[in-house]
Amino acid sequence: MKLLGYLKKEVTTNIYRFTDPSNPERFALSPKVVKNRYEITDLLSSTSGFGLVFIAKDTKLLNKKVLVKAINYKKAFNKNSLDAKEKILLRRKNLKLESQILLKLNTLNVPCLPLFIDYIEGYSPSIQWPDGNVGVGSPAFDDLAMNEPYFILQYIKGQTLSEKAEKQDKSALSWQIEVLKIAQRVLNILDVFHGGDEKVESYIYQDLKPENIICSPNGTYTLIDFGGVALNMHDKSTTYNKGIGTPGYMAPEIADPSIKKIDKTADIYSLGVLIWSLLMKEELIKYVDENGIIKNFSLNTIEDYVFEPVCQIIKKAVQPDPKARYKNASQMYGKITSALQKLNSINYVFKEDVIA
């Protein structure tokens, strides 16, 4: 995983300030040590909407590398506004929920997820110094500063799928085969997600995209970031946490506020777009409208070099009408298995030709 390249500066004996060298307005504060155990070393990811992910050393386990997920308060609240405290508390509730969802998914033995290691509450400099200028001006919300939630995750070695895809020849048959195999891995995960448990009818990942999949050197793929997971509770007509997604990858019903309940086919849609984007030579963003939804979807972008069974899978998965998509992960998995058999036989003939 590439680091953001933020500059780390010690601003007090217990606070770091990470600043984007190209834009000093982009910054993040962190405690140097979380709960006397996890020493922050770098900023790995910073999405303005949701979270900060730091790399840290677990000092209790001989400096084992871990990830620390924290709340990104950038522009989330104004310290003078009346509802600032409510906004802070809501963000905290969401982070806690994310940690509980990950723990639940670990308990359900969902394959290829990072392990939840710990949930702790500790000091947050971002609450006291929301403008980032530590020591300048009066601090805000001293009473909230000491019980900021953090959760600790397994560090996964590897690169994101988007980093991996950049280096590939999109028209190569071997890459098409690999993309289908990756899709099968993701479907294995989604299958368990969608099955839910005794309390939750189904978990919907919602935010499937290449940046959220880590490819490790030993060939495993890990799904990361659970801040966007939506919950369909038994006997409820609305989906909790609906509406989180990335432009281009999110299904139309996720972006449509008039639709209150989404189902597992929202993830099928995102996976279809993910396969398409991994095989397309152009940028996906060219096909995204102002609402963040794919406009003018066309297989013309890939059908010159992508084999027909793969095109058909993408086409079926990205249907705007959820009922027209694959019904569930196992149905799509079956279609991909058939496509892989065809592609492997073509690959075999190619290899034989080369040898001959």
Partner 1 sequence: MITYPVTNDILWKELREESQEIRGSFFEKKILKCEEKFKSEKFIGYTLPNKMFNGQKEFLEQTNKIFYPLINAMNKINSTMLPELIDVFVCSEGEIKKLMLVMEYIKGYTLKEAVNHYKSYKKQSADFPTTLNISKFSKFLKKLTDFSEDLLNEGYFHLGLYPSHFILPKSDVIRLTGLRFIMKTEGFIVNDPRIKSLKNEMKYSFMPPELYTKIYKESNNSINAIAVLAYQIGILILWGYYQEDLGIYRIADNQIDLSDEIFDIVPYNKKRKVSDAVWALLDPDPDIRLNTLQEIRECLDSIE
User: Contact residues for partner 1 (CB under 8 A)?
Assistant: 35, 37, 60-65, 103-104, 106-107, 109-112, 115-120, 154-157, 185, 188-189, 192, 216-220, 222
Closer CB to partner 1, residue 277 or residue 328? 328
Closer CB to partner 1, residue 21 or residue 219? 219
Backbone angles phi, psi at 286, to 5 degrees: -65, -20
Query: Parallel, antiparallel, or unpaired for β 200-204 and 148-154?
Result: unpaired
Find out whether 315 and 299 touch, Cβ atoms under 8 Å: yes
Handedness of CA 43, 47, 48, 50 (dihedral sign): negative
**Amino acid, res. 293:** I
3-state secondary structure of 270: helix
The CB-of-299 to partner 1 minimum distance in angstroms stands at 29
Closer CB to partner 1, residue 48 or residue 216? 216
Sequence-ordered strand ranges (E) for 161-315 = 200-204, 213-215, 221-223, 230-233, 239-240
The CB-of-128 to partner 1 minimum distance in angstroms stands at 23
Q: How many CB atoms lie within 10 A of CB 4?
A: 16
The CB-of-61 to partner 1 minimum distance in angstroms stands at 5
The CB-of-112 to partner 1 minimum distance in angstroms stands at 6
The CB-of-280 to partner 1 minimum distance in angstroms stands at 27
The CB-of-251 to partner 1 minimum distance in angstroms stands at 24
Closer CB to partner 1, residue 135 or residue 217? 217
The CB-of-248 to partner 1 minimum distance in angstroms stands at 27
Closer CB to partner 1, residue 37 or residue 87? 37
Closer CB to partner 1, residue 12 or residue 63? 63
Tokens 């298995």 correspond to 337
The CB-of-339 to partner 1 minimum distance in angstroms stands at 18
**Amino acid, res. 171:** S
For the chain, helix, strand, coil in percent to 5 are 35, 25, 40
Find out whether 246 and 207 touch, Cβ atoms under 8 Å: yes
d(CA 44, CA 279): 27
3-state secondary structure of 193: helix
d(CA 80, CA 58): 36
Find out whether 239 and 232 touch, Cβ atoms under 8 Å: yes
Closer CB to partner 1, residue 27 or residue 205? 205
Closer CB to partner 1, residue 157 or residue 260? 157
Q: What is the DSSP letter of 326?
A: -
d(CA 205, CA 351): 38
The CB-of-158 to partner 1 minimum distance in angstroms stands at 8
The CB-of-119 to partner 1 minimum distance in angstroms stands at 6
Taking only Cα atoms into account, the Rg of the chain, rounded to an integer number of angstroms, comes to 22
Closer CB to partner 1, residue 37 or residue 170? 37
Find out whether 96 and 88 touch, Cβ atoms under 8 Å: no
d(CA 171, CA 262): 34
Closer CB to partner 1, residue 41 or residue 154? 154
